[in-house]
Amino acid sequence: MADQDFYPTKKDCSFYDNYSLIRNKLLENAYRSHNFNSIPPIIGFIVADQYGNAIMIYEYDGQKETNYGAIKSYLSEDDKNLLEIDLISMYFSSFKVFASQTNIQNLSHLEIYGSNIKAQIYFLFERYMIITFLNSNTNLDSKDKNEILNHFNTILSNYEYEFSNFNNPDSRKYIKHLENIGKIWLKKFNFNYIESFKELYLKRHDIFEFFIEQIDPIIQNELNEYLEFVPEDIKDNLAKEIKNKIQDKMLEFNSELF
């Protein structure tokens, strides 16, 4: 006997609509709580030499209304007090100089944390810095970091002459071309990071929901045992309140895991 086609009822559609609405609302709250609505996962990269000369810049392409890039926009206090990119890279290069003049050996990277933005600085080939500006809630795993470092290692290896002679007009053309490609790569990286963030957040939420479902009858049984003579409506309300408090704590815990 052939299988009959399945046609969802209005009730089925309503359930899935509500289910989708709830999950979208959860994602929106998580997105905002991590400030991704204001600051992208990665704002941009500056590739500079050991003296702090900015050679190549990739930036998040979301500030269309301004005449300057995302790094300068996010790091500056306001439009009247804009930071210069070269000053930013020169500031971070001083850490490498400090390490070379002290007993800090083989300095490979630095991290600076702020409540809204953080910076990660990697030193490559003894001559270059990769300065990364991120949303402070962005947590790059080892796979993400390896992708970033491999990306810049490959570029610096393949275009060694151009980066060593970055003021040469022909070198600038190559570097400008690399910047254009890099912006596309950064856009894709940020997109993939957000998609992974959403997927992991919902997966954890589903685990917590399953946990809540498992402890719900335990709560009810315990209340029935210890509050045997209490009216049922009071026990039901108390069970719901306990369940809601556990659920709220689980949601809070899910957000703090990122």
Dihedrals φ, ψ of 117, to 5°? -135, 145
* Whole-number pLDDT of residue 240: 81
Residue whose entry in the numeric block shows the structure tokens 């991120």:
134
Name all domains of the chain by residue range, CATH numbers in brackets. 22-35+198-256 (no CATH), 42-197 (3.30.450.30)
Q: What's the whole-number mean pLDDT along residues 248-257?
A: 62
Element (H, E) at 44: strand 42-49
Report for 33-37, 144-148, 251-255: range of highest mean pLDDT: 144-148
Longest dimension (CA), the chain: 88
Confidence of residue 83 (pLDDT cuts 50, 70, 90): low
Span 182-193, pLDDT tens digits: 999 999 999 999
Q: Which residues of 154-169 are buried (b: 16+ CB within 10 A; e: fewer)?
A: ebbeebeebbeebeee
Q: What is the distance between the alpha carbons of residues 33 and 256, in angstroms, rounded to a whole number?
A: 10
Span 107-122, pLDDT tens digits: 777 888 888 999 999 9
DSSP state of 87: H
* Whole-number pLDDT of residue 200: 82
- This prediction's pTM: 0.73
Q: What is the distance between the alpha carbons of residues 169 and 164, in angstroms, rounded to a whole number?
A: 13
Locate 135 and state its tokens: 């949303």
Q: What is the distance between the alpha carbons of residues 90 and 208, in angstroms, rounded to a whole number?
A: 47
Segments in the chain forming alpha helices (H):
10-33, 70-75, 85-100, 142-158, 160-164, 169-226, 232-256
Confidence of residue 142 (pLDDT cuts 50, 70, 90): very high
Q: Which residue has the higher pLDDT, 164 or 228?
A: 164
Confidence of residue 175 (pLDDT cuts 50, 70, 90): very high
Q: Given a cut of 50, is residue 242 above it in pLDDT?
A: yes
Q: What's the whole-number mean pLDDT along residues 63-82?
A: 64
Which 3 state secondary structure label does DSSP give 126? coil
